[in-house]
Structure 1
Amino acid sequence: MYSIREAKAEDMPQVLGLIQELASFEKEDNAVEVSVEDLIKDGFGEEKLFQCFVAETAAVIVGMALAYPRYSTWKGPVIHLEDLIVTERIRGSGLGSALLTEVVKYGNSLGVKRISWEVLDWNEPAISFYEKKGARVMRDWDVVQLDERGIKAFLENN
């Protein structure tokens, strides 16, 4: 059995392990740039940038959900669920539902008007999971990003 709780700074090495596992699943093995030190500073420092929940069993973290505040010009305060990760060996156990429930309770406690997140279009098990939970998967929207290199190029050219 597992328990879900708010993450602590000392959980961040295991949380980073889950983040790296997700990157491998998404075929982006070398994309993770964040460090344990970054996670500790950003999640537990003077300016807390995110809220993280972890699921553990026998002192091993087997799942996590990380969310942060945003603001919608149409709705007002919202939160963004950056990642919900359950280690591969226990997917399908109900742990993902429990973590999502924790994030929804957290958002509700903040009085947010929406909780949003992205899912890869090829990850049909995740899409099905979210739709069964009542989430609306908006397939007609595309994610737009400027990475670090893109930011620099943009500023050089404008």
Structure 2
Amino acid sequence: MSYTIRDARAEDMQRVLKLVQELAEFEKEENAVEITTNDLIRDGFGLKPLFHCFVAESDGEIVGTALIYPRYSTWKGPIIHLEDLIVTKEMRGSGLGSALLTEVIKYGHNLGVKRISWEVLDWNEPAINFYEAKGARVLRDWDVVHMDEGGIQNFINNL
């Protein structure tokens, strides 16, 4: 199957959101996606874009995406974070995931970043094996820490 990878456009965000929802279902978090197409358009294509996105097309349909954004490491300097790399179920095993990851790595290299980082669920062995085969290190001794909107509000309320 042939595909093309390109920079996403605002009009792609509806399909990108569908891919995000597909990933949430795969990760058993189908009700966790709160973002809308309009949010993606505003946040990715406004005056100060918060992310960069690649899409993969096959036969005119978007079948994969990679969404990244800049971060800063106090140890390394500028880095980028790969929030999601998503390939439709039908396209898995086609090389599309490798092509999207390659595009992300080339993009980071061209920016001169010192690191590209992302998370992977500890039960997603196919993804872990894929990333390790590409030369990434899965840091199993680190835990992801986050504070959701409710946690932020509780913190503020208790100041």
Q: Into which bin does the TM-score normalised by the smaller protein fall? A: over 0.9
Q: How many residues get paired?
A: 158
Hey, what does 2:83 align to over in structure 1?
82
Hey, what does 2:50 align to over in structure 1?
49
TM-superposed deviation, 1:143: 0.3
Hey, what does 1:124 align to over in structure 2?
125
Q: Which whole-Å CA distance do the structure 1 matches of 2:156 and 2:102 have between them?
A: 41
Q: Which whole-Å CA distance do the structure 2 matches of 1:144 and 1:15 have between them?
A: 26
Q: How do 1:3-152 and structure 2 match up within 5 A? A: 3-152=4-153
Instruction: Report the identity percentage.
Output: 73
Q: Which whole-Å CA distance do the structure 2 matches of 1:79 and 1:117 have between them?
A: 9
Q: Which whole-Å deviations, capped at 9, do the CAs of 1:20-72 have from their partners, x for residues lacking one?
A: 00000000011000100000000000110000000001111000000000000
Q: Which whole-Å CA distance do the structure 2 matches of 1:67 and 1:14 have between them?
A: 17
Q: Which whole-Å CA distance do the structure 1 matches of 2:91 and 2:82 have between them?
A: 21
- Code of the residue aligned with 2:70 in structure 1: it is P
- Code of the residue aligned with 2:101 in structure 1: it is L
Q: Which whole-Å deviations, capped at 9, do the CAs of 1:106-138 have from their partners, x for residues lacking one?
A: 001110000000000000000000000000000
DSSP 3-state at the match of 2:29: coil
DSSP 3-state at the match of 1:20: helix
DSSP 3-state at the match of 2:35: coil
- Code of the residue aligned with 1:16 in structure 2: it is L
DSSP 3-state at the match of 1:80: strand
The structure 1 segments of at least 4 consecutive aligned residues displaced by more than 3 Å after TM superposition are none
TM-superposed deviation, 1:155: 1.2
Structure 2's unaligned 5+ residue stretches are none
- Code of the residue aligned with 1:55 in structure 2: it is A
CA RMSD of aligned residues (A): 0.5
Scaled by the length of structure 2, what TM-score is found?
Answer: 0.98
